[in-house]
Every structure is written in structure tokens, then in C-alpha cells.
Amino acid sequence: MPGSVWDWIILIVVALVLFGGASKLPEIFRSLGRAFGEFRKGQIEVENELRQMQSSTPQTQPQQQNQQSQPDERKNDEESVEELKKKIEELQRQVEELKKGK
């Protein structure tokens, strides 16, 4: 059984030549190259997205600081919830006005 990567590559090339013929070999390798390029492009995109997600999330703080900031965070959360409720009500009013206008 072939053990190294080069043994496998040689085995695959021989199999391709036997089953596909020498004329199809360039097409096969071109397709493999495109597929590999698309794979690398997708891999780079995923890595970039992960980096963006990691940089956009705040760093974890020690528990003592986190416990001290919880009341402030709750106030901020409550304020943002209230703001969102006001925005929803305003949008509902606008939708009603648009419905009446039709």
C-alpha cells in the first residue's frame, strides 16, 4: 500500500491516464486546479469572517469587573428596549397611515 503523498499522486495520475486517456488529462487537471482555487478562496473568506467576528466581540473581562458593570448594563439594556419599543410604535403608526392612504 502506498504510504507517502507522492506515491498516492503517482497512483492517481496513472489511473487517470488509464481510464481517461492522455487527451483528457489537461482538462482534468484544469478542473482540479479551479476546484482547488475555489476551495482556497472560500477558506480565506471564512478566515476573514472569523477574524472580523473575533475583533468585533468585546474582550471578556474578569468576573469582578463584570459583576460591577451588570447594573449599568441592565440600565443600558432597559433604555435600548424602551427606544426600540418607541421606534416600533412609530413604524406601526406610519404603516397605518400608509394603509389609510391607499
Task: List pLDDT tens digits, range 22-81.
Answer: 777 788 788 888 998 999 999 999 999 998 888 887 655 455 555 555 666 677 777 888
The pTM assigned to this predicted structure is 0.38
* 43-38-26 Cα angle (round to 5): 140
Residues 6 or more apart in contact with residue 8 via CB below 8 angstroms: 2
**What are 64's three cell numbers?**
469582578
Which of 15-19, 60-64, 87-91 comes out lowest in average pLDDT?
Answer: 60-64
Which residue did the predictor score with more confidence, 13 or 63? 13
Per-residue burial over 26-40, b if 16 or more Cβ lie within 10 Å, else e, is eeeeeeeeeeeeeee
State the pLDDT at residue 43: 92
Distance CA 102, CA 96 (A): 10
- Reading phi first (left if > 0) and then psi (alpha if -120 to 50, else beta), residue 21 is in left
Distance CA 32, CA 15 (A): 15
H helices within 21-62, ranges in order? Answer: 25-56
* Domain residue ranges of the chain, discontinuous segments joined by +: 1-58, 70-102
